């Protein structure tokens, strides 16, 4: 049995009998006017964060969500795209698709605005999406891509890139880990399916996205997730896993490389009212400006004593230099 088969079996079981502890998310359930999340959807929220951000979802976008879980994020996305087929859900596990269909009927009863046909559900593989090229405004996955090994991860990201419209965005939440993991952990199919041993360092995760062609990357959140301890796992040291929320935008790749936002800011505190670097970045006196890592490096290279550049916070909330 391959690790992908092991993953399908695990989530088949989680579809038939909800497993509240399968994934642990620190995000609160969305509370929006007129939106009520059925209890069963909350119990089947098999994610490690949120991929639903209001600033991505203006003008009733067409949304793709891969790995449907119990349908909670599909319902949240439908809140922003109230149209037939406005949200497309894809999952390789038939039992999970059926569970979502049943949960949508409950959601209809609890939400006067919601209709089940706002969401199209399709059986399909993240490595070969049943979706047309350049047809999606916002694509999302939550705690799925970390399961894939390197070649499959590349295929999954390439597929997302293919289906997105120009300037569309891929929004993701996945576990990450900066510490090395031994081969026993990496090769444990169940631990990989449980979104633990497939976790990558953030820089490798981002590189996989930029290698696919995404020109802008935003790291929006970085939060504690899980611990692998020597008492319960095959490791000699305690391993700390975090979850991150990331948006990869299908912008053209700049000639000097991608714009990667990790929560850095620049503050100009010189004598003039502003500082212009001549490359499209204007810093107003004593006003912080969000900057990508590339711009941070260029400003630092100027060697000025009147520009402060903060460290990465790994929380980026929009705006800034690009």
Q: Give the pLDDT of the chain (322 residues) as one tens digit per residue.
A: 588 887 888 778 777 776 555 555 545 566 789 999 999 998 888 888 899 999 999 999 999 999 998 999 999 999 999 999 999 999 999 999 999 999 999 999 999 999 999 999 999 999 999 999 999 999 999 999 999 999 999 999 999 999 999 999 999 999 999 999 999 999 999 999 889 999 999 999 999 999 999 999 999 999 999 999 999 999 999 999 999 999 999 999 999 999 999 999 999 999 999 999 998 899 999 999 999 999 999 999 999 999 999 999 999 998 887 6
Asked whether residue 259 is assigned to any structural domain, the reply reads no
- My answer on whether 191 and 285 are in the same domain is no
- In terms of residues, how long is the chain? 322
Left if phi > 0, otherwise alpha if psi is -120 to 50, otherwise beta: which for 224? beta
The encoded tokens of residue 185 equal 């952990």
Distance of alpha carbon 196 from alpha carbon 234, whole angstroms: 12
DSSP code, position 28: P
Give just the sign of the alpha carbon dihedral 172, 156, 11, 90: positive
Query: Nearest CA to 125 among 138, 136, 137, 141?
Result: 141
**At 204, which helix (H) or strand (E)?**
helix 202-211
Asked whether residue 287 is assigned to any structural domain, the reply reads yes
- My answer on whether 243 and 268 are in the same domain is no
- My answer on whether 29 and 64 are in the same domain is yes
Asked whether residue 317 is assigned to any structural domain, the reply reads no
Q: What is the pTM of this model?
A: 0.92
Helix axes 3-16, 94-110, angle to 10 degrees: 30
* Domain stops at, among 250, 277, 298: 250
Asked whether residue 322 is assigned to any structural domain, the reply reads no
- My answer on whether 180 and 299 are in the same domain is no
- My answer on whether 269 and 246 are in the same domain is no
* Domain stops at, among 250, 279, 296: 250
Order the strands of the 119-123 sheet from edge to edge: 119-123, 87-91, 63-66, 136-142, 164-176, 239-249, 216-228, 259-261
State the pLDDT at residue 176: 97
* Domain stops at, among 250, 273, 295: 250
Asked whether residue 153 is assigned to any structural domain, the reply reads yes
Give me the number of domains the chain comprises: 2
The parent domain of residue 54 ranges over 3-250
Asked whether residue 256 is assigned to any structural domain, the reply reads no
CB 18 within 8 A of CB 44: yes
Q: CATH number of the domain at 125, please.
A: 3.40.50.150
Asked whether residue 18 is assigned to any structural domain, the reply reads yes
- My answer on whether 72 and 216 are in the same domain is yes
- My answer on whether 66 and 200 are in the same domain is yes
Give the DSSP letter string of 160-186: HHHHEEEEEEEEEEEEE-SS---HHHH
- My answer on whether 203 and 97 are in the same domain is yes
- My answer on whether 155 and 272 are in the same domain is no
- My answer on whether 36 and 90 are in the same domain is yes
- My answer on whether 169 and 295 are in the same domain is no
CB 150 within 8 A of CB 75: no
Helices (H), 19-70: 39-43
- My answer on whether 187 and 58 are in the same domain is yes
């Amino acid at each position: 049995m391959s690790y992908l088969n092991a993953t399908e079996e695990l989530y088949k079981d989680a579809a038939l009998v909800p497993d509240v502890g399968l994934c642990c998310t620190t995000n609160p359930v969305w509370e929006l006017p007129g939106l009520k999340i059925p209890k069963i959807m909350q119990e089947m929220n098999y994610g490690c964060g949120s991929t639903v951000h209001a600033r991505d979802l203006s003008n009733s976008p067409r949304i793709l969500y891969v790995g449907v879980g119990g349908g909670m994020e599909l319902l949240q996305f439908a809140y922003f795209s109230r149209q037939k087929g406005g949200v497309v859900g894809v999952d390789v596990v038939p039992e999970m698709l059926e569970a979502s269909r049943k949960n949508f009927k409950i959601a209809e009863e609890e939400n006067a605005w919601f209709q089940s046909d706002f969401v199209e559900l399709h059986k399909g593989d993240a490595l070969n999406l049943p979706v047309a090229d350049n047809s999606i405004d916002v694509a999302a996955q939550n705690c799925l891509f970390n399961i894939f090994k390197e070649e499959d991860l590349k295929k999954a990201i390439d597929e997302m890139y293919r289906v997105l419209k120009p300037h569309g965005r891929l929004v993701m939440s996945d576990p990450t880990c900066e510490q090395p993991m031994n081969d026993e952990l990496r090769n444990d199919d169940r631990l990989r399916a449980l979104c633990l041993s497939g976790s990558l360092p953030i820089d490798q995760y981002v590189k996989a996205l930029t290698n696919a062609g995404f020109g802008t990357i935003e790291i929006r959140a970085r939060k504690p997730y899980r611990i692998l301890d020597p008492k319960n796992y095959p490791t000699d040291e305690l391993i700390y896993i975090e979850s991150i929320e990331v948006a990869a935008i299908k912008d053209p790749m700049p000639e000097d490389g991608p714009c990667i936002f990790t929560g850095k800011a620049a503050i100009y505190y010189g004598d003039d009212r502003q500082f212009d670097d001549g490359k499209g970045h204007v810093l107003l006196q004593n006003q912080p400006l969000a900057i990508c890592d590339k711009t941070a490096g260029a400003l630092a290279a100027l060697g000025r004593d009147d520009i402060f550049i903060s460290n990465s916070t790994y929380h980026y909330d929009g705006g800034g230099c690009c």
